[in-house]
Amino acid sequence: MWPGIALSLEIEEVLYSNKSKFQQIDLYQTRNHGKMLVLDGIIQLTQSDEFAYQEMLAHVPLFAHPNPENVLVIGGGDGGVLREIARHACVKTIDFCEIDEEVIKVSKEFLPDMACGFDDPRVRVHIGDGNAYLREQKNKYDVIIVDSSDPIGPGEALFERPFYENLKAALRQNGIIATQGESFFMHKECVANLVKITKELFEVQAYSYILVPTYPGGNIGICLGSLGPQLKTPCRTMSDAIQKQLNYYTPKIHEASFVLPYFAQKMFETL
C-alpha cells in the first residue's frame, strides 16, 4: 500500500491470526498502543488512537445533518463507528452491513470497548457485500457512513464510481455520505479520484482530515458529499454530557478538519 515507507509497532503477542473467507485477519497485543487489528497486512486500528477515526467519521456527518434519523454503516466490523453513532438520541435506526462476519466475532472477543457498538438496540446487522446491499436501498437514509478497509481485497469496489452512485440513490432528501478517504499524503491518486467522483455527484462536497498516529503517514481523510446541508460546520449543538464522553471531536475541530494544506486544496480545486 505504501511503497518505500513503513510503520513499525512493537508486538508483544499474536492474539489471533486466521484467514477468513475474505481476508487475512490478525489481532496483536502491542507493547505501547493497546491491541491492533490488521486486515491483509494493513493496520485498521490500534486501541491507542482509534477514537480519533471513529469519532470523526461518525460525528462530522451526523452533526452536519439537521435531523439524522435513519443511518447506514457499510464496513466497520469492529463496531467503533456504531459506538459513536449510538450517542445521537435523534437517530432511530442504524443499519449495518459488513462483508466479513469473522471481523465482528474477533472484535467482540478482543475489542469489547469498540464492539459495544453492536449492543445498541437500534442496530440491525446485515452480513454481506455493502455494494450489493446498497443497490437494493433507495431513498432511505439520512446519513451513510462507509468505514471500509482499503481499495484492495473486498473493499475495492467501495472506491469506485458505481458505488458512489448507489450511495447517492440510497439517500433521502438532504442526505449526507461520509466515506473512508485514505491519506492525501500517501494516496494522492486514490484521494483525487474520490473527491472528483463526489464533486460530480453531489451538490455539496468536502474533504476532512484526521490525525491518527498509527496509520502510515499519521493521517486519514473523510470524503463527504451532501444533497443539501453544508458540511463544514455542525448544525446541531452537542450536549456537555456527550462532549465529555469524547476524546477528539469538538465543534471546533469539525470546522478545522476541513482547512486543508495548500497542496491538497490546489489538487482538489483542479478536479
Element (H, E) at 112: helix 112-115
Q: Which of 129, 160, 165, 255 binds ligand SAM (CB under 6 A)?
A: 129
* 148 annotated binding-site participant: yes
Reduced to 3 states (helix: H, G, I; strand: E, B; else coil), residue 249 is coil
Strands 93-98 and 35-39: unpaired
Number of residues forming the site for ligand SAM (CB under 6 A): 24
Q: Is 78 annotated as a binding residue?
A: yes
Ligand-binding site membership of 129 (annotated): yes
Q: Which stretch binds ligand SAM (CB under 6 A): 9-17, 88-96, 98-106, 236-244?
A: 98-106
- Which single residue is written with the C-alpha cell 455493502? 130
By CB under 6 A, which span of 27-35, 63-71, 115-123, 148-156 interacts with ligand SAM?
A: 148-156
Closest CA to 45 of 107, 92, 116: 107
Among 61, 68, 75, 151, binds ligand SAM (CB under 6 A): 75
Pick between residue 77 and residue 175 the one whose CB is nearest to ligand SAM: 77
CB of 124 to ligand SAM, least distance (A): 15
41: left (phi over 0), alpha (psi -120 to 50) or beta: left
b/e per residue 172-181 (b: at least 16 CB within 10 A): eeebbbbbbb
Q: Which helix (H) or strand (E) holds 177?
A: strand 171-180
Q: Tell me which residue has its CB nearest to ligand SAM.
A: 75
Output the CA torsion 104→105→110→115 (10° steps): 40
Among 60, 71, 73, 77, which residue interacts with ligand SAM (rule: CB under 6 A)?
Answer: 77
Instruction: Name which of residues 29 to 68 contact ligand SAM (CB under 6 A).
Output: 39, 44-45, 53
**Does the annotation mark 147 as catalytic?**
yes
Residues classed as catalytic = 147
- Residues near ligand SAM (CB under 6 A) are 39, 44-45, 53, 74-78, 97-100, 103, 129-131, 147-149, 154-155, 158, 180
